[in-house]
Amino acid sequence: MYPQIEIDLNKISDNAKVMLEKCKEHGIYPCAVTKVTCADEQTAAALIKSGFNQLADSRVENIIKLKEAFGDKIETLLLRLPMLSDCHRVVKYCDISLNSELSTIKELNKHAKEQGKTHKIIIMVDLGDLREGIWPSDVLELKEQVKKLKNIEVLGLGTNLTCYGGVIPTNKNLKKLIELKESWEQDGQQSLKIISGGNSSSINIMTSKEIPEGVNHLRLGESLFLGRETVARNHIENTHLDVFKVKAEIIEVKKKPSVPIGTIGQDAFGETPTFEDKGEHLRAIAAIGRQDIALSMEPTSKNIKIIGGSSDHLLLEAENVDIKVGDIVEFVPEYGALLAAMTSPYVRKIYK
């Protein structure tokens, strides 16, 4: 049955080992970020088998799935700031959470007390990307407040870059985290164990040795699954780029004009499309759409090109290729397409 996403578990293991090894060379112990796979259990098992013992996800539902499958074999880290209304589950299932709001940390403390636990947190610092995090100048004030919360343990400081603002991690901006750690520890009362220096966009400065000494943790998603760092999306040496393949079935093949006939208004998604007139060409329709994928996929056949897609149909130009109804076409998804395919209940997950 199609559409499918084929997941090559051996390639995931290979990528995981390569990334762990590279990080270890630089004194970094990363966690594996499972959110793009919706914390798929077999994928997570491959990551754990390859040496990851800390798994991170942005959704508590996914963390519950991981805890139920792997129990105390793994440590779980919640990536998205907890919702005030969800602190009970966060404390129950997540060993560590990333935080930036005192009111939420207080609520976590309350639930940790009720559950007889200490909840560990990493405080997120905004170094300019303008997504989550407290301003560097507010860190010491937050420290004073959090110190009073008996069921909260601050493990360290972290940052997230290259997500909203596209800000690239550098020695200069990450050094701010190290300076903040030093001022935190100045009174000699508490040391911070973790300095979490970002996501897959921090790999370049790690391999070029520009990453400041003291950064000892990264949160890796895309690099593990797609073999790319995320500043320029360059291939990371020795990793596989084609861990995942999206497969869909052809339901129509016809020669048609390359420009629609009639007056052009908006398409199915409220955009006004434009077309290049290439005369008649061979077009194929695959039975998969934006409910299942994003259009950011690379066909494995050079003679097939994605020219558009609506909710349930993917339109392909298929010149110079023998293609017929019933054929299966293959694509390597980029991040957005992978996220959608793993999330769509219509896309079957097949393991290789």
Ligand X SMILES: *Cc1c(COP(=O)(O)O)cnc(C)c1O
By the rule CB under 6 A, 219 interacts with ligand X:
yes
By the rule CB under 6 A, 160 interacts with ligand X:
yes
> Which residue in 37, 97, 230, 344 binds ligand X (CB under 6 A)?
230
Nearer to ligand X, 230 or 239 (CB): 230
The least distance separating ligand X from the CB of residue 324, rounded to whole angstroms, comes to 38
> Which residue in 43, 97, 159, 199 binds ligand X (CB under 6 A)?
199
By CB under 6 A, how many residues form the interface with ligand X? Answer: 13
CB 227 within 8 A of CB 239: yes
Q: Which of 159, 154, 118 is nearest to 135 (CA)?
A: 159
By the rule CB under 6 A, 227 interacts with ligand X:
no
By the rule CB under 6 A, 228 interacts with ligand X:
no
Helix axes 139-146, 102-114, angle to 10 degrees: 20
Restricting to residues 53-82, name those near ligand X by CB under 6 A: 58, 79
> Which residue in 11, 35, 228, 245 binds ligand X (CB under 6 A)?
35
Around Cβ 311, how many Cβ atoms within 10 Å?
10
By the rule CB under 6 A, 221 interacts with ligand X:
yes
The least distance separating ligand X from the CB of residue 305, rounded to whole angstroms, comes to 27
By the rule CB under 6 A, 159 interacts with ligand X:
no
- The encoded tokens of residue 97 equal 């959470």
By the rule CB under 6 A, 217 interacts with ligand X:
no
Secondary structure, 3-state, 37-99 = HCCCHHHHHHHHHCCCCEEEECCHHHHHHHHHHHHHHCEEEECCCCCHHHHHHHHHHCCEEEE
Residue 195 is classified by DSSP as E
User: Rounded to 5 degrees, what are φ and ψ at 351?
Assistant: -105, 140
Around Cβ 16, how many Cβ atoms within 10 Å?
24
Q: Which stretch binds ligand X (CB under 6 A): 7-15, 216-224, 313-321, 342-350?
A: 216-224
End-to-end CA distance of the chain: 16
120 is catalytic: no
Instruction: Write down the catalytic residue from 35, 65, 143, 247.
Output: 35
Task: Find the residue with minimal CB distance to ligand X.
Answer: 221
How far, in Å, CA of 218 to CA of 195, rounded?
A: 8
By the rule CB under 6 A, 100 interacts with ligand X:
no
* Binding-site ranges for ligand X (CB under 6 A): 33, 35, 58, 79, 160, 199-200, 219-223, 230
Q: Which residues are part of the catalytic machinery?
A: 35
